[in-house]
């Protein structure tokens, strides 16, 4: 990514983001030196003025945009200069442009294009006549007399009408191409235009997915992104006809005020030209531009919603120190079972066939009961795909019969099949059939959602809306940023992490992650962070970026269990000495209360201590926090999964019932909640709270456990309406 921008751009960015010029220059220097954003956010706070990771990513994106803008300005000047048309005025306009769109508008009249009606008219020598009309100095009679002189069959102008028509074409093109007139029109277009849709082929829409758009209109300035994407999808599927209803009269009046001079003798003629310019050229161009921009902004928003949901999914609370049975349910091919131990190692795999056509119900119950006893299973994780509810009935019946119930929960299995067929799964589980790997993944994603989900293409985790309509590359880039952010926020156990997980640690790529795992397998567990330097391919730069995010639980490197970077070990040791402790004391629990109390006293006046230790105050505060809670995991603040007690069918739901559910997905229009059925219920944005909610993600995130009330059940469309109000 290019971070080379001018001082002018830096000043503009400073104003736009309200970040000082010094901070921006410092961040640019750090990025140009190869530092990753997670590293800068965590370990270079003194240099950035404490900018957090989100601020840094926004800043990096803004810097990159301005770099593209400057490059676009330079190339545009070169292209216009090559035509010998670059005037000082035009150059100044380009230099003052503040957006790529503005540069594009300025370049439009000089852009190579297919021959237009205006081009043909100019080729026939009618440009001087167009200039006469534009000056508006002659009356219509005198103009016609002037136009007669342009009638020349040799120039393919055989009549007065053809001469005037050609001149009008030239002026219509001039109006439609003028950057300032286009900007005025665009502004009014976005303020007053509406997007409309009507039904085209209702028969295609069997479940009425697009019913609300059969006769729909809304101003483009406030249509929500999800509606744009829904209408696009309906149009693509042939269900809807979508168009934009422009403020034609308003824009034409505005253009007329700019173009037609007071008491112009050619007022009516110019009005005809302006009408033609809008209806034939400017209007269609603005509609294409608006549809494109609406879609682009909707896609950008959808990517952000997907990213926010993915972050919540990855930050779901792990279930450590449990033996877990994973069940990948199915009908004809049978349910696949895998049991993993507390370290995620596979203990046992098998299959059961409780459903049609085999219907070995009792045998399936017996098998599960024996496996639970033999392997001391703590909890069962059942996938939510095909035959999930029927398999849940099996587990429920098993619990009714058993003297000691085995807790079970439903796990979103989105992406499990993708993982099962992947090269990574083949490397991790070479002795298992593809069909059984899915059950392993389901068990592991309950045990540690982050460690397992990073093995899957983030686009396949099932927490986005309309993701199939989004640009795959752009979506993947945004989601991978989220995964990187979460992985580094949580930290990674260097001795248990998979190559897939290590590859998301700041500074480590996929090749290095495999070398680290190979080194660990050959040499044994890492006992110090410094040992990472011994891995071939891990140089000083990689070590600097990654070390603080890697965790090791050993007596040889007690500080490695904390997010304290090795470069700050000496500071941490001096802090510990201040309270009469040493790094090995971090491994003992007996002194925890005394230790915490003494550190709290130091935290009371960190400024003086920072001066004494000659360390930046932000770094010192982070060190004190890390020492006080060395094993802190941000995921511990998230509620644990819901364990089931029974099963239901859609017909069992009663309006008014109060239920508990797990939020599976959050969109602009509300949240989807798993209440124990094949389909999730929807809490519409208007039912999220007793007060107005602008953004559902401010109220709920995937993984949240909430109470809901059933408002409506639509069996035909398989839709459940829920509410969170006053619960």
Residues 5-23 have pLDDT tens digits of 999 999 999 999 999 999 9
For CATH 2.40.50.140, the residue range(s) in the chain are 650-723
In whole angstroms, give the CA distance from residue 635 to residue 643.
18
Which candidate, 111, 28, 114, places its Cα nearest to that of 75? 111
Query: What's the confidence (pLDDT) of residue 589?
Result: 58
**How far from 653 is each of 57, 159, 396, 656, 670, CA to CA, in Å?**
45, 78, 18, 9, 20
Helix (H) and strand (E) counts in the chain: 30, 15
Query: What's the confidence (pLDDT) of residue 590?
Result: 44
> What are the tens digits of pLDDT across the range 527-550?
999 999 999 999 999 999 999 999
Q: How confident is the prediction for the chain on average, in pLDDT?
A: 92
Query: What's the confidence (pLDDT) of residue 324?
Result: 97
Neighbours of 680 (CB within 10 A): 20
Report whether 387 contacts 358 (CB < 8 A): no
Query: What's the confidence (pLDDT) of residue 414?
Result: 87
- Preceding peptide of 357 cis, ω within 30°: yes
Residue 548 phi/psi, 5-degree rounding, is -65, -20
Tokens of 402: 């058993």
Query: What's the confidence (pLDDT) of residue 110?
Result: 92
**How far from 119 is each of 166, 177, 284, CA to CA, in Å?**
9, 13, 19
Tell me what the mean pLDDT of segment 172-190 comes to: 96
Answer yes or no: is pLDDT of 645 > 60. Answer: no
Query: What's the confidence (pLDDT) of residue 120?
Result: 94
Answer yes or no: is pLDDT of 494 > 90. Answer: yes
CATH pick for 489-636 out of 3.40.50.10890, 1.20.120.1200, 3.40.50.620, 1.10.150.310: 1.10.150.310
Tokens of 35: 């530092």
Helices 283-314 & 179-192 angle (0-180, nearest 10): 60
What's the CATH fold of domain 324-463?
Nucleotidyltransferase; domain 5 (3.30.420)
Tell me what the mean pLDDT of segment 606-610 comes to: 90
Three-state SS at 176: helix
In whole angstroms, give the CA distance from residue 310 to residue 483.
8
In whole angstroms, give the CA distance from residue 144 to residue 159.
11
| CATH code given to domain 650-723 | 2.40.50.140
> What are the tens digits of pLDDT across the range 566-604?
999 999 999 999 988 899 888 875 457 778 888 888 887
Query: What's the confidence (pLDDT) of residue 650?
Result: 73
Tell me what the mean pLDDT of segment 274-295 comes to: 97
**How far from 126 is each of 34, 156, 459, 483, CA to CA, in Å?**
58, 11, 56, 61
Report whether 225 contacts 209 (CB < 8 A): no
Query: What's the confidence (pLDDT) of residue 646?
Result: 56
With pLDDT > 70 as the criterion, what percentage of the chain qualifies? Answer: 98
Q: What is the pTM of this model?
A: 0.84
Report whether 626 contacts 549 (CB < 8 A): no
The count of C-alpha atoms lying within 13 angstroms of the C-alpha of 697, restricted to the half-sphere facing its C-beta, is 17
Tokens of 487: 């992985």
CA angle 478, 482, 483 (to 5 degrees): 115
CA angle 211, 213, 217 (to 5 degrees): 150
Tell me what the mean pLDDT of segment 687-693 comes to: 89
Query: What's the confidence (pLDDT) of residue 714?
Result: 87
Edge-to-edge strand ranges of the sheet holding 335-340: 346-352, 335-340, 324-328, 379-383, 408-411
Query: Domain 7-110 is of which CATH architecture?
Result: Orthogonal Bundle (1.10)
> What are the tens digits of pLDDT across the range 102-129?
999 999 999 988 999 999 999 999 999 9
DSSP-derived secondary structure letter, 278: I
For CATH 1.10.10.650, the residue range(s) in the chain are 7-110
């Amino acid at each position: 990514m290019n971070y080379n921008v001018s001082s002018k751009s830096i000043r503009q960015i400073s104003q736009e983001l309200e970040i000082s010029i010094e901070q921006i220059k410092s961040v640019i220097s750090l990025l140009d030196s190869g530092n990753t954003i997670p590293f800068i956010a965590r370990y270079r706070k003194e240099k950035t003025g404490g900018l957090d990771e989100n601020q840094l990513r926004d800043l990096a994106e803004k810097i990159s945009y301005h770099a593209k803008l400057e490059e676009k300005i330079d190339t545009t000047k070169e292209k216009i200069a090559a035509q010998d048309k670059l005037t000082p005025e035009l150059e100044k306009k380009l230099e003052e442009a503040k957006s790529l769109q503005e540069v594009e508008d300025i370049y439009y009249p000089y852009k190579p294009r297919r021959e237009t009606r205006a081009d043909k008219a100019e080729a026939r020598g009618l440009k001087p006549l167009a200039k006469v009309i534009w000056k508006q100095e002659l009356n219509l009679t005198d103009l016609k007399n002037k136009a007669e002189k342009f009638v020349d069959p040799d120039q393919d102008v055989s009549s007065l009408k053809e001469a005037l028509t050609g001149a009008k074409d030239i002026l219509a093109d001039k109006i439609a191409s003028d950057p300032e007139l286009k900007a005025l029109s665009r502004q009014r277009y976005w303020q007053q235009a509406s997007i409309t849709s009507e039904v085209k082929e209702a028969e295609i829409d069997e479940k009425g997915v697009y019913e609300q758009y059969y006769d729909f209109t809304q101003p483009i300035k406030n249509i929500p992104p999800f509606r744009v994407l829904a209408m696009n999808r309906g149009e693509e599927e042939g269900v809807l006809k979508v168009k934009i209803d422009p403020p034609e009269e308003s824009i034409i009046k505005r253009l007329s005020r700019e173009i037609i001079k007071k008491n112009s003798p050619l007022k009516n003629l110019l009005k005809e030209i302006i009408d033609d310019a809008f209806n034939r050229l400017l209007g269609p161009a603005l509609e294409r531009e608006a549809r494109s921009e609406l879609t682009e902004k909707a896609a950008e928003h959808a990517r952000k919603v997907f990213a926010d949901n993915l972050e919540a999914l990855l930050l779901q609370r792990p279930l450590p120190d449990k033996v877990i049975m994973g069940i990948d349910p199915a009908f004809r091919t049978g349910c696949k079972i895998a049991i993993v131990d507390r370290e995620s190692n596979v203990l046992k795999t098998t299959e059961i066939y409780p459903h049609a056509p085999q219907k070995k119900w009792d045998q399936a119950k017996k098998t599960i009961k024996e496996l639970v006893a033999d392997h001391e299973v703590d909890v069962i994780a059942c996938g939510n795909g095909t035959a999930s509810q029927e398999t849940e009935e099996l587990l429920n019946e098993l619990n009714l019969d058993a003297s000691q119930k085995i807790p079970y929960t439903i796990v979103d299995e989105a992406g499990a099949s993708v993982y099962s067929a992947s090269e990574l799964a083949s490397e991790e589980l070479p002795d298992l059939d593809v069909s059984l790997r899915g059950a392993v993944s389901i068990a592991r994603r309950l045990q540690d959602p982050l460690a397992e989900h990073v093995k899957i293409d983030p686009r396949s985790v099932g927490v986005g809306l309309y993701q199939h309509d989004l640009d795959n590359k752009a979506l993947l880039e945004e989601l991978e940023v989220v995964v990187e952010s979460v992985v580094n926020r949580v930290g990674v156990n260097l001795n248990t992490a998979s190559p897939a997980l290590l590859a998301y640690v700041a500074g480590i790529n996929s090749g290095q992650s495999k070398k680290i795992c190979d080194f660990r397998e050959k040499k044994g567990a890492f006992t110090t962070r410094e040992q990472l330097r011994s891995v071939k391919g891990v140089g000083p730069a990689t070590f600097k970026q990654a070390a603080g995010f890697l965790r090791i639980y050993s007596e040889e490197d007690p500080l490695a269990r904390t997010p304290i970077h090795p470069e700050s070990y000496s500071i941490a040791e001096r802090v510990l000495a201040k309270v009469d402790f040493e790094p090995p004391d971090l491994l003992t629990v007996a002194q925890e209360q005394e230790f915490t109390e003494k550190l709290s006293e130091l935290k009371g006046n960190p400024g003086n201590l920072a001066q004494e230790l000659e360390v930046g105050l932000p770094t010192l505060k982070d060190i004190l926090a890390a020492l006080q809670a060395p094993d802190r995991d941000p995921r511990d603040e998230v509620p644990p999964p819901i364990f089931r007690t029974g099963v239901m069918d859609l017909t069992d739901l009663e309006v008014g019932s109060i239920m508990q559910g797990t939020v599976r997905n959050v969109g602009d229009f509300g949240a989807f909640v798993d209440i124990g059925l094949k389909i999730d219920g929807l809490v519409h944005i208007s039912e999220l709270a007793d007060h107005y909610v602008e953004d559902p993600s401010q109220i709920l995130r995937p993984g949240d456990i909430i109470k809901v009330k059933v408002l409506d059940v639509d069996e035909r469309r398989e839709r459940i309406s829920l509410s969170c109000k006053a619960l």
